[in-house]
Amino acid sequence: MLNQRVRVIDLETAGDGPQDVCEIGWQDVSVDVDGRWQVTEERGALLVNPGRPISPDTMAVHHIRDEDVIGAPFWKEVAPPVLKPASGVVALAAHRAAFEQRYCRPSLTAGVQWICTWKCALRLWPHLHRFSNQMLRYQRKPEGLVHEIGLPAHRAMPDAYVTAHHLRDMLNQASLDQLMAWSSQPALLPRVPAGPERGKGWDQLNLAALNELATNRDADIRFTARAELGRREIQLPAPVEVAQAKLL
């Protein structure tokens, strides 16, 4: 297990196109000699030339301007050394990893598995009210997180650094394999996110409401409703078999 590490990735983009990355940040989490996961000193960020103007909408989020990326290398040059580091990386991770996976394709990552810290937070800390990266930061206040390194928010390295502290605590609470398994499934939502039952725990819903949500268009809602139906089915008492009368 020693020398294992997970690399947390965060991307900032110029828009929604397939090559629109304008910054990549990373932060490693690795196993120490006592078998505990720790946030390491291995972190960094690189600006990327997206090959087109950065949209005002995204610029207003991360404040990376066109003039900041003039002369920066393109995504195909930047991505491989960060996503396929020399050795020991057993998984990549990101908060709401589906976004990063749109750009970090298997051809760039050597097909390594991903951990989604958002999905895992829903499983491990369902009592929390909200699950964004920054809300987890202030609700949980992870030990050792240096406030200034995690700023400014919505820049690639600071966001990866914050995510890494959530990931470290997750890995010390559940196994690597378990986090990867949860991440490969739809999200298990702690409460109904929308509609007339919004805000309720799934165990508070009647069967009619659950059956309706089990056919919802949203994959996470469907998955969670079906999981609750399955949980109730398991808890139902087994049918009592009537003993067959013996023939005399």
Q: How far apart (Å, rounded) are the C-alpha atoms in residues 76 and 108?
A: 8
Q: Is the pLDDT of residue 248 over 50?
A: no
Q: Is the pLDDT of residue 70 over 90?
A: yes
Q: Is the pLDDT of residue 186 over 90?
A: yes
Nearest CA-CA partner of 120 in 54, 29, 49, 230: 29
Q: How far apart (Å, rounded) are the C-alpha atoms in residues 147 and 61?
A: 20
Q: Which DSSP helix (H) or strand (E) runs through 46?
A: strand 37-47
Give the pLDDT mean for 162-167: 98
Nearest CA-CA partner of 126 in 134, 138, 118: 118
Check residue 20 and give its pLDDT.
Answer: 93
Say which residue, 246 or 29, is predicted with more confidence.
29
In the chain, % of residues over pLDDT 90:
86
Write the pLDDT tens digit of every residue in 1-15. 567 899 999 999 998
How many Å is the Cα radius of gyration of the chain? 22
Give the pLDDT mean for 225-245: 69
pLDDT, the chain, mean: 92
Question: 5-183 belongs to which CATH class?
Answer: alpha beta
Q: Is the pLDDT of residue 95 over 80?
A: yes
Q: In this predicted structure, which of 30-34, 39-43, 195-199, 242-246 has the lowest mean pLDDT?
A: 242-246
Would you list the domain boundaries of the chain?
Answer: 5-183, 186-236
Check residue 235 and give its pLDDT.
Answer: 45
In the chain, % of residues over pLDDT 70:
92
Nearest CA-CA partner of 224 in 185, 197, 198, 195: 185
